[in-house]
């Protein structure tokens, strides 16, 4: 048994981010952001938005406005992004190695999804890749909890699945989510090494106890 397998086996519950963790959706999200910004005569700054990965989209636009002295309408940007995204959503695939972990633990450990995206998008993505029914609860930007990097959404998920935070492993691809999970007292796995657009070493994990 590898250290990674032991790390998961010793947990009592699992929590997954959705975009870029269970679903290989980040390239499409990037295209959708670019489309929405261009439609509003604004420049899509991939590096800036990448640092905010995991935050709610409305909050991302507000931070963009503050950082670049813009006055973009957050709701209009998000609406345009979602429209573009939904048109291509059916072609999404899973992040196979992470989705397989959810599949192998279905019915074995309680599991949840905690995402900064809206429920409409998250639920549709999970249904497209066929794992929506694996999770006891799904928390999204539509829920009235403080978003990542605040730990509240993760603590709520832990309560819903009935597992103490210290016994949960969280799979995340965003700094905001990793910070939130660690501040909730949970163990974390940074899955970015699996994604080609994050770097070449896709076969290793960064684990935090």
pLDDT value at position 136?
A: 98
1 or 38, greater pLDDT: 38
* Residues 54, 59, 65: CA angle, nearest 5 degrees: 125
Given pLDDT bands bounded at 50, 70 and 90, which one contains residue 205? very low
CA 37 to CA 201: how far, in whole Å? 31
Residues 6+ apart with CB under 8 A from 115: 17, 18, 19, 122, 138, 139, 140, 141
pLDDT higher than 90, residue 178:
yes
Q: State the catalytic residues.
A: 17
Residues in Cβ contact with 190 at an 8 Å cutoff, skipping those fewer than 6 apart: 172, 173, 178, 205, 206, 207, 208
Burial class (CB in 10 A: 0-12, 13-18, 19+), 75: exposed
According to CATH, the superfamily of the domain at 3-25+93-208 is: HAD superfamily/HAD-like (3.40.50.1000)
SS3 for 187? strand
Q: Which of 14, 49, 20, 9 is nearest to 161 (CA)?
A: 14
Write out pLDDT tens, residues 22-69.
999 888 888 998 999 999 998 878 888 777 877 888 888 999 999 888
């Amino acid at each position: 048994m590898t250290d990674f397998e032991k790390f998961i086996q010793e947990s009592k519950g699992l929590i997954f981010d959705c975009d870029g963790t269970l679903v290989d959706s980040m390239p499409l999200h990037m295209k959708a952001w670019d489309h929405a910004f261009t439609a509003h005569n604004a420049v899509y700054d991939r590096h800036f938005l990448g640092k905010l990965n995991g935050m709610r989209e409305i909050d991302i636009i507000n931070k963009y406005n503050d950082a670049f002295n813009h006055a973009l309408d957050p709701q209009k940007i998000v609406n345009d992004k979602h429209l573009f995204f939904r048109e291509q959503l059916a072609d999404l695939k899973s992040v196979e190695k992470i989705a397989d972990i959810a599949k192998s633990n279905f019915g074995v450990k309680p599991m949840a999804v905690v995402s900064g995206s809206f429920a409409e998008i998250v639920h549709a993505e999970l249904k497209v890749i066929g794992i929506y029914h694996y999770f006891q609860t799904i928390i999204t930007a539509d829920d009235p909890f403080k978003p990542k990097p605040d730990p509240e959404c993760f603590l709520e998920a832990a309560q819903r699945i009935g597992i103490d935070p210290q016994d949960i492993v969280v799979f995340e691809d965003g700094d905001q989510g990793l910070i939130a999970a660690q501040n909730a007292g949970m163990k974390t796995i940074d899955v970015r090494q699996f994604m080609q657009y994050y770097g070449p070493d896709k076969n290793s994990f960064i684990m935090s106890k």
